[in-house]
Amino acid sequence: MIKHTTFFTTLLLASSMAFAANTFETADTNRDSMVSAAEYQRYVFDYDVYTKRDTNNDSLLNEEELGISVFDADDFSSWDADGDTYLTYDELNISLFDYYDEDDSGYLDNDEWNKASDDGWFDM
Ligand SMILES: [Ca+2]
Ligand SMILES: [Ca+2]
Ligand SMILES: [Ca+2]
């Protein structure tokens, strides 16, 4: 019985986190209706957005691991600041945030966030 309850709680927790992981509200921790770079980076870290894509666990993302069809090879190479054909955590975080911050406000608004989500960035 205890085991069953624990399992059920784990399931509930897992499903609520999976749901939360796709919401703008979760990322917007200070509730100002904008996601700052710091909030974005915390979100990426808290929900293992980067590490889940890093399937061979070398702490780098290659183009295949990035695996988002909306980006092309030019996007990838322009984000790869040191040109080693891998994106580090920092390279990706900075580039992806800038990519979706279409009005260069330094924040992602709800529409910009939804575009990133629609592109599959937060779907694991
Ligand atoms: Ca915010
Ligand atoms: Ca990797
Ligand atoms: Ca690189």
Which DSSP string corresponds to 30-87? T-SSSEEHHHHHHHHHHTTHHHHH-TT-SS-B-HHHH--TTS-HHHHHHH-TT-SS-B
Closest CA to 27 of 119, 112, 120: 112
Residue 65 forms part of a structural domain: yes
Is 16 a residue whose pLDDT tops 50? Answer: no
- Indicate whether 37 belongs to any domain: yes
CATH number where 34 lies: 1.10.238
64 alpha carbon – ligand 2 mean position (Å):
9
Domain encompassing residue 62: 24-118
Q: Looking at 41-45, 59-63, 73-77, which range is the least confident one?
A: 73-77
Residue 33 falls inside a structural domain: yes
| Domain-located, residue 45 | yes
DSSP 122: T
Sorted by sequence, the CB contacts under 8 Å of residue 41 that are 6+ apart come out as: 93, 97
115 C-alpha to ligand 2 centroid (Å): 25
Please give the tally of structural domains in the chain. 1
Q: In this structure, is residue 13 part of a structural domain?
A: no
Model pLDDT for residues 22-54, shown as the tens digit of each residue:
589 999 999 999 999 999 989 888 888 888 889
- Taking only the tens place, the pLDDT of each residue in 85-116 is 999 988 988 888 999 999 999 999 999 999 98
Ligand 1 center to 79 CA (angstroms): 24
